[in-house]
Structure 1
Amino acid sequence: MATRRFPPALSLPRHFLCGSTAFSSMRDTKAIARTANIAQHMSAAPSRAASSAATSPVTAHMDASVQYLSEGSTRVIQLNRERAINALNQDMINRIRASLEEIKKSPNAATVLLRGVGRGLCAGGDIMDIVLNADKKSKEERQEAVRFFQTEIEADYAIATLADASAELGRPKWYISYMDGISFGGGIGLSIHAPFRVSTERTLASMPETAIGYFPDVGVTSHFARMDGQTGMYLALTGERLNGADTYLLGLATHFVRSNLLEELARRLADMPLDQVTDANVVNACIDEFASDPYASDAENGEELARNSRFLGDRRIALDYAFGRASVEQIFAALGEIAAAKPDADAVKTLATRGLSPIPDMVKQFAAETLETLKTRSPRSLKVTFKAMRMAREMTLEEVMHQCMHIATVLTDLSVGRDFYVGVMHMLQKDPATGKRRTGHAAWNPATLEEVDDALLDALFFKNADSAHKAGLQLSIPKLANVPLSTNARDERKKRTAQLRGLGPLHWEPQHNQFALPSEAECAALAGGFHPAAGSYVQSNSEMILTLMQHKHDKPSLRLKVEDWQRRMDLMRK
């Protein structure tokens, strides 16, 4: 089991970098000295490898679908299919893998920047070719459709392990993704496993796979399963789109930076001296300089963004209840009860104990709209996604990647279900009768949740390859070349158990997503005295916020997020 270990986030003042003066009395002298050194190094003259701020193309052909550029100590992977919003095809995946291999070995690279030209980072995979291959008669051609997912998963795992793999060759490389504009599907896969992910006011993020009869793949369930409350389950099942503020709030992005500052941030990253960027905290501090609070009252639409967020306040209470049910059928039922708001309904009674009595109109509207969205999704995809999400919380990233490869193969094998093909055609092809895009939802088969054969679904998707083939799978499940399999070695089992157990009542994993806003699992660990920053002491609400603001460098939006969590917890305790 590969373990990606970044250095502990520094509990250091940000005023050296951002002008903040909060909590100066709480700083220790070693932290101050180290931060001053970081600031000095970041402003110092760059090393020879980073001496030129100009872009020098390594593979920068104007018509290349992926451009590989060198900017000082930064290597830029630029997706360059503007008319397709940089949708990924096999050639692009191959080029990304080749770029990562070159970067991993380079002695002159310190950071890797992923970005896209035009309207977004990446609109996902170029799925039309995939499903057309999947529908061919030749088994060899159908197997080729699966190869795209194999190489995509391998590329995403290479991103997840880049820092460790490059460190073994002499210098860790820190990967930063600019999730500016549209970031769907495969674009999320190219970003979510990176230590640094930047959203902007232009960001539109989504994993919309259940709408096309597929599922959230490329290891995304590993991250979604560790998100706050049931927000990950909500996103996985509905495929709803997130703005840049909520992408940051939920931890899908580690920083929020205004889009007009991205170029300056890129230049600052490129100018960072090679010998100082072995520490991820230096990169984090650099990005922090440009970060801002999207919800701030003085930010554009800041208060409106907070007011309309599904992930704060009363709607979040209802979301956690509904998407925490034990099956997809129960999720549907809970949403229906919340929308109807009949006093004797189980959901209404439970929400009353959580502070929602009576249920506000905006919560009823949220539940009704969410239920209507789910009714348009593939029933089979919903059930597969639900179970994969439940399992992912008890799995390592490597185990999730192998599971993704298995599920992707079954969904691509149209001999055991055609929802993937039908869903893509419904979404991308025009209605021949009208010449316009189709409305409504695809003709799913099975058409309802009740018609899905749960035993067959388990045999095909969630047992071993032999079970899947006995249940009708014809395609072979590819082996992932660079993703290790779990073993029964005692030391590895102990490490795995400790990692998944985490700290505190919500099993906070300190090494997971450490440069993002604090997760609610981290807040719960701190509140219960399980957090290293708490010194084993249970902390009050006000003490928690002070500790986290120091621990997270006064990170933008931190107070808003933590106070909202505290409010919801206080309501449940009443």
Structure 2
Amino acid sequence: MFFHANRSLLQAQATARLTNLSRHFSMPDVLHRKVYGGRIFTLNRPKSMNALNISMVRNIYPQLQAWSKSDQCKVVIIKAETAPPEKKTAAFCAGGDVVSLLKNVQAQKTAQSLDFFREEYTLNHLIATIQKPYVAFLDGVTMGGGVGISIHAPFRIATERTLFAMPETNIGFFPDVGGSFFLPRLDGAMGKFLALTGARLRGADAVYAGIATHFVPSARIPALEARLCELESDDREVVSAAIEEFSETLPSTYNLGGLVRERIDRCFGRSTIPAIVEALEKEGDEWSEDVRATLLSMSPLSLKVTLEQLRRGAKLSFADCMKMEFGVAQRMILQADFQEGVEKTLVEKSRAAKSWTPPTLEEISDSWVVQEFFENPKAKSLTLPSHTNDPGAWHSYPYAYPNGRCNMPNEAEVRDLIQGTSRRSGPTSWSKEEFLDFIVAERDGRKGARVVVEEILKRKAVLGAGGYLGWMN
């Protein structure tokens, strides 16, 4: 233990020296570092909340390619130059640099904006396909572009300072960077809820919702980083066990669980935006009314484009999702709502109501949305490089169920085990406690796994004859 602690102290001192140097000299926007088998990216634009720009993308991509091919590299870590743990406010990456995108559009430099999307999405694709374990420390605000460089990783570490959101419908855009892939694959209607409302999740809730895989207190992050760099194996099970050493016990309550979760699935499971709005109104409670008001404050165009994006993305491969998003992005940045949303929200930082065009959902036909944004023959195409682990053929993350167990248990896993259709199925007659013990043991005691499964069982399972679990269809 002394050896590990001493090494952690030395690494922390080295990081502090780098931080002090960056205050006096012009430093790169992304720092690279090698420590034993660890390869570390540090986002280094703290004054801009580490918002992702094309320079950062070009800084990360070639280095990540090189590290992915190195036998000496055992784990890749991405983190941010951020506030010390005692500060409650921090930022991993607060999004893409959409203000610069807007300025390019206004200056009729649309090609430069497309270059950003092309290179950003290519980076997202590389992150999803590399064989090396990739660990993202979401210690602070994680939105938009910050989600794109973390969500496709097998290991996403939330802290008490994590603030996750995909708030694009509030700026006249849509949840891109692979949002069309990961959001529809969250349990139930959670993906629709997060995408349409821009709802914000704090650390523990990010784990319970399936956004993060582990919860580690911010103060333990330096020690965890040191531990990961000491690993001599790039096996994901080994990496997961190392992270679990530093994980914190999660609270037993989930803010989006119980009745709230039932409302989310009931309302956001509808197939159109007007139907979702109507369902929220019928709920008749304060939470539903607040969500309804939030939804109606968003760009109507963004809402309709986002819903169509999620519907299509649920059936597409990862690569095809990125190609679809590239076509949608080049149309969205030319819309009046994008200028209105970015100007009011990010430039003026105003809370005043936005003047959307058109202003109502009724003025936007679903057929026009499909033709203009998803089937436009004039849209430029995105060509993605081929990788060893090319995701062109897969429709779920290779490290998640049913292919892996790096993520928290989800509804599909629980359903298949109860119904006896999982390849890991043992008995098809489970008591609740037997089932909980089994699935938590399979996760090697993963903290939070029991709460996640209990919440799923409350919503989706029934106790049949003899007290055995059954699944509600």
**TM-score if structure 2 supplies the norm length?**
0.88
Specify which of 310, 313, 316 is matched with residue 395 of structure 1: 316
- Counterpart of 1:510 in structure 2 is 402
What are structure 1's unaligned runs of at least 5 residues? 1-41, 47-51, 164-172, 297-305, 340-363, 431-436, 470-475, 503-507
**Are the aligned partners of 1:55 and 1:70 in contact in 2 as well (CA < 8 Å)?**
no
- Counterpart of 1:256 in structure 2 is 215
Asked if residue 334 in structure 1 is aligned to residue 279 in structure 2, the reply is yes
Compute the displacement of 1:483 (Å).
Answer: 6.0
Q: What amino acid is the match of 2:411? A: E
Residues 442-461 of structure 1 correspond to what in structure 2 (within 5 A)? 442-461=354-373
**Are the aligned partners of 1:76 and 1:113 in contact in 2 as well (CA < 8 Å)?**
yes
Compute the displacement of 1:378 (Å).
Answer: 0.6
**Are the aligned partners of 1:336 and 1:368 in contact in 2 as well (CA < 8 Å)?**
yes
Compute the displacement of 1:55 (Å).
Answer: 5.6
Q: What amino acid is the match of 2:250? A: P
Specify which of 79, 84, 104 is matched with residue 48 of structure 2: 84
Report the Cα distance in structure 2 between the residues aligned to 1:453 and 1:326, rounded to whole angstroms: 14
- With over 3 angstroms needed to count, the CA separation of the structure-2 counterparts of 1:325 and 1:272, relative to structure 1, is same
- Counterpart of 1:343 in structure 2 is none
Compute the displacement of 1:154 (Å).
Answer: 0.5
Compute the displacement of 1:177 (Å).
Answer: 0.1
- With over 3 angstroms needed to count, the CA separation of the structure-2 counterparts of 1:538 and 1:384, relative to structure 1, is farther
- Secondary structure of residue in 2 paired with 1:76: strand
- With over 3 angstroms needed to count, the CA separation of the structure-2 counterparts of 1:186 and 1:573, relative to structure 1, is closer
- Counterpart of 2:110 in structure 1 is 142
Compute the displacement of 1:533 (Å).
Answer: 2.5
Asked if residue 528 in structure 1 is aligned to residue 419 in structure 2, the reply is yes
Report the Cα distance in structure 2 between the residues aligned to 1:376 and 1:440, rounded to whole angstroms: 10
- With over 3 angstroms needed to count, the CA separation of the structure-2 counterparts of 1:541 and 1:451, relative to structure 1, is same
- Counterpart of 2:86 in structure 1 is none
Asked if residue 324 in structure 1 is aligned to residue 242 in structure 2, the reply is no
Asked if residue 223 in structure 1 is aligned to residue 182 in structure 2, the reply is yes
Q: What amino acid is the match of 2:249? A: D
Report the Cα distance in structure 1 between the residues aligned to 2:136 and 2:194, rounded to whole angstroms: 20
Report the Cα distance in structure 1 between the residues aligned to 2:369 and 2:304, rounded to whole angstroms: 8
Q: What amino acid is the match of 1:534? A: S
- With over 3 angstroms needed to count, the CA separation of the structure-2 counterparts of 1:150 and 1:271, relative to structure 1, is same
Compute the displacement of 1:377 (Å).
Answer: 0.7
Asked if residue 420 in structure 1 is aligned to residue 420 in structure 2, the reply is no
Report the Cα distance in structure 2 between the residues aligned to 1:91 and 1:573, rounded to whole angstroms: 50
Residues 39-118 of structure 1 correspond to what in structure 2 (within 5 A)? 62=22, 63-118=27-82
| Larger displacement relative to structure 2 (184-193 or 440-449) | 440-449
- How well do the aligned residues superpose, as a CA RMSD in angstroms? 2.8
Report the Cα distance in structure 2 between the residues aligned to 1:156 and 1:114, rounded to whole angstroms: 13
Q: What amino acid is the match of 2:271? A: A
- Secondary structure of residue in 2 paired with 1:511: coil
- Secondary structure of residue in 2 paired with 1:192: coil
What are structure 2's unaligned runs of at least 5 residues? 83-89, 463-470
Compute the displacement of 1:107 (Å).
Answer: 2.9
- Secondary structure of residue in 1 paired with 2:246: coil
**Are the aligned partners of 1:150 and 1:478 in contact in 2 as well (CA < 8 Å)?**
no
- Counterpart of 1:127 in structure 2 is 98
**Are the aligned partners of 1:214 and 1:381 in contact in 2 as well (CA < 8 Å)?**
yes
- Secondary structure of residue in 1 paired with 2:95: coil
- Counterpart of 2:442 in structure 1 is 551
Residues 468-547 of structure 1 correspond to what in structure 2 (within 5 A)? 469=378, 476-482=379-385, 509-511=401-403, 514-535=405-426, 537-547=428-438
**Are the aligned partners of 2:323 and 2:381 in contact in 1 as well (CA < 8 Å)?**
no
Taking every aligned residue pair, what percent have the same amino acid on both sides? Answer: 32
**Are the aligned partners of 1:124 and 1:183 in contact in 2 as well (CA < 8 Å)?**
yes
**Are the aligned partners of 1:157 and 1:483 in contact in 2 as well (CA < 8 Å)?**
no
Report the Cα distance in structure 2 between the residues aligned to 1:157 and 1:93, rounded to whole angstroms: 12
**Are the aligned partners of 2:319 and 2:384 in contact in 1 as well (CA < 8 Å)?**
no
Specify which of 233, 243, 246 is matched with residue 202 of structure 2: 243
Instruction: Detail structure 1 runs of 4+ shifted over 3 Å in the superposition.
Output: 52-57, 59-62, 570-574
Specify which of 150, 153, 173 is matched with residue 121 of structure 2: 153
- With over 3 angstroms needed to count, the CA separation of the structure-2 counterparts of 1:573 and 1:403, relative to structure 1, is closer
Compute the displacement of 1:517 (Å).
Answer: 1.3
Report the Cα distance in structure 2 between the residues aligned to 1:217 and 1:419, rounded to whole angstroms: 16
- Counterpart of 2:306 in structure 1 is 385
Q: What amino acid is the match of 2:441? A: Q
- Secondary structure of residue in 2 paired with 1:178: strand
- With over 3 angstroms needed to count, the CA separation of the structure-2 counterparts of 1:106 and 1:333, relative to structure 1, is same
- Counterpart of 1:206 in structure 2 is 165
CA displacement 1:253-304 (0-9 Å, x = unmatched): 111111111111111111112xxx13111111100111122215xxxxxxxx
**Are the aligned partners of 1:401 and 1:483 in contact in 2 as well (CA < 8 Å)?**
no
| Larger displacement relative to structure 2 (530-539 or 450-459) | 530-539
- With over 3 angstroms needed to count, the CA separation of the structure-2 counterparts of 1:88 and 1:573, relative to structure 1, is closer
Q: What amino acid is the match of 1:336? A: E
Specify which of 296, 300, 311 is matched with residue 375 of structure 1: 296
Asked if residue 440 in structure 1 is aligned to residue 352 in structure 2, the reply is yes
**Are the aligned partners of 2:38 and 2:77 in contact in 1 as well (CA < 8 Å)?**
yes
- Secondary structure of residue in 2 paired with 1:532: coil
- Secondary structure of residue in 1 paired with 2:40: strand
Based on CA coordinates, which of the two structures has the bigger radius of gyration?
A: 1
Compute the displacement of 1:105 (Å).
Answer: 2.8
Q: What amino acid is the match of 1:291? A: S
CA displacement 1:402-428 (0-9 Å, x = unmatched): 11111111112x2xx321111101112
- Secondary structure of residue in 2 paired with 1:531: coil
**TM-score if structure 1 supplies the norm length?**
0.73
- Secondary structure of residue in 2 paired with 1:289: helix
| Larger displacement relative to structure 2 (517-526 or 453-462) | 453-462
- Counterpart of 2:87 in structure 1 is none
CA displacement 1:9-52 (0-9 Å, x = unmatched): xxxxxxxxxxxxxxxxxxxxxxxxxxxxxxxxx99xx9xxxxx9
**Are the aligned partners of 2:124 and 2:149 in contact in 1 as well (CA < 8 Å)?**
yes
